[in-house]
């Protein structure tokens, strides 16, 4: 592992189950930019992460020149602007700006509803179900898009699919029976296809927590297909 440590690759602080970290890993895997992955335990964050980014969320990418990127979408754009073999930044329908606008809706109102639905006790709410129901129009809109085209912006996966799917997955898993009972066949198919794909399996690989002073893990592991 010494050789690897000497290679001075960009460092990605990640947490396996975090949807923000997942989207960063998806883009890095698609771009095949060699990085060093450091798996973080959120309740015991390593000092090196806190020094790089005092706001202390994951994912964080520290580039070889020391530049720090601490927003997941920015990490996706960083990776894909280096190398975008599957043209995730150039969807077969629509534009990058239109994808960014949809991602903004995901990260704003939808994420807020998701958190309140998943953790009503954190918000002193008696009923998370009300927030689940508030998300119905947005998820219905995704289903409508996916009834028209196989992916959110056309016939192949692109940035928006990969940035949004981890959050829809988290929402669906709160109550899968409820989610599957909704009239969203296209959304369900899109989600299951992504979750059953090779790319998802690759980015969900389990790594041991990183120990300060030791090298992280080479990432990504394998060459990725584009199986959204």
Q: Is 14 in the site for ligand GSH (CB under 6 A)?
A: no
Q: Is 57 in the site for ligand GSH (CB under 6 A)?
A: yes
Q: How far is the CB of 61 from ligand GSH (least distance, A)?
A: 10
Q: How far is the CB of 23 from ligand GSH (least distance, A)?
A: 8
Work out the end-to-end distance of the chain between its first and last CA atoms, rounded to an integer number of angstroms: 32
By beta-carbon proximity to ligand GSH, the closer residue of 13 and 184 is: 13
Tell me the site size for ligand GSH, rule CB under 6 A: 10
Q: Is 42 in the site for ligand GSH (CB under 6 A)?
A: yes
Q: Is 182 in the site for ligand GSH (CB under 6 A)?
A: no
Q: How far is the CB of 111 from ligand GSH (least distance, A)?
A: 9
Q: How far is the CB of 150 from ligand GSH (least distance, A)?
A: 26
By beta-carbon proximity to ligand GSH, the closer residue of 184 and 210 is: 210
Q: Where are the alpha helices (DSSP H) in 7-135?
A: 19-31, 47-52, 72-82, 96-105, 111-118, 129-134
Sheet holding 11-14: strands in order across?
A: 68-69, 60-62, 11-14, 35-39, 217-219
User: Hey, is 24 helix, strand or coil?
Assistant: helix
Q: Is 58 in the site for ligand GSH (CB under 6 A)?
A: yes
In the window 67-106, what residues touch ligand GSH (CB under 6 A)?
71-73
Measured CA to CA, the distance from residue 50 to residue 58 in angstroms comes to 10
Measured CA to CA, the distance from residue 94 to residue 153 in angstroms comes to 6
Q: How far is the CB of 42 from ligand GSH (least distance, A)?
A: 4
Measured CA to CA, the distance from residue 17 to residue 206 in angstroms comes to 10
Q: Is 210 in the site for ligand GSH (CB under 6 A)?
A: no
Beta bridge partners of 37: 12, 217
Q: Is 112 in the site for ligand GSH (CB under 6 A)?
A: no
User: Hey, is 68 helix, strand or coil?
Assistant: strand
Among 12, 18, 61, 168, binds ligand GSH (CB under 6 A): 18
User: Hey, is 179 helix, strand or coil?
Assistant: helix
The radius of gyration of the chain from alpha carbons, rounded to an integer in Å, stands at: 18
Measured CA to CA, the distance from residue 193 to residue 190 in angstroms comes to 5
Q: Binding residues for ligand GSH, per CB under 6 A?
A: 15, 18, 20, 42, 57-59, 71-73
């Amino acid at each position: 592992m010494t050789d690897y440590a000497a290679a001075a690759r960009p460092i990605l602080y990640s947490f396996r189950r975090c949807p923000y970290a997942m989207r960063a890993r998806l883009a890095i895997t698609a771009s095949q930019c060699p990085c060093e992955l450091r798996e973080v335990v959120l309740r015991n964050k390593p000092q090196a992460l806190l020094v790089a980014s005092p706001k202390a969320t994951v994912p964080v990418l520290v580039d070889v020149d020391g530049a720090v990127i601490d927003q997941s979408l920015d990490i996706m754009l960083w990776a894909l602007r280096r190398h975008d073999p599957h043209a995730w930044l150039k969807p077969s329908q629509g534009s990058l700006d239109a994808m960014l606008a949809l991602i903004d809706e995901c990260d704003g109102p939808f994420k807020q509803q998701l958190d309140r639905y998943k953790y009503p006790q954190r918000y002193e709410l008696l009923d998370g179900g009300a927030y689940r129901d508030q998300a119905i129009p947005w998820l219905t809109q995704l289903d409508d898009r996916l009834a028209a085209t196989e992916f959110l912006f056309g016939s192949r996966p692109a940035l928006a699919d990969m940035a949004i799917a981890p959050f829809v997955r988290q929402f669906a898993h709160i109550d899968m029976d409820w989610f599957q009972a909704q009239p969203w066949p296209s959304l369900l198919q899109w989600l299951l296809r992504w979750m059953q794909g090779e790319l998802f399996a690759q980015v969900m690989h389990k790594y041991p927590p990183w120990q300060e002073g030791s090298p992280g893990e080479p990432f990504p592991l394998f060459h990725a297909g584009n199986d959204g």
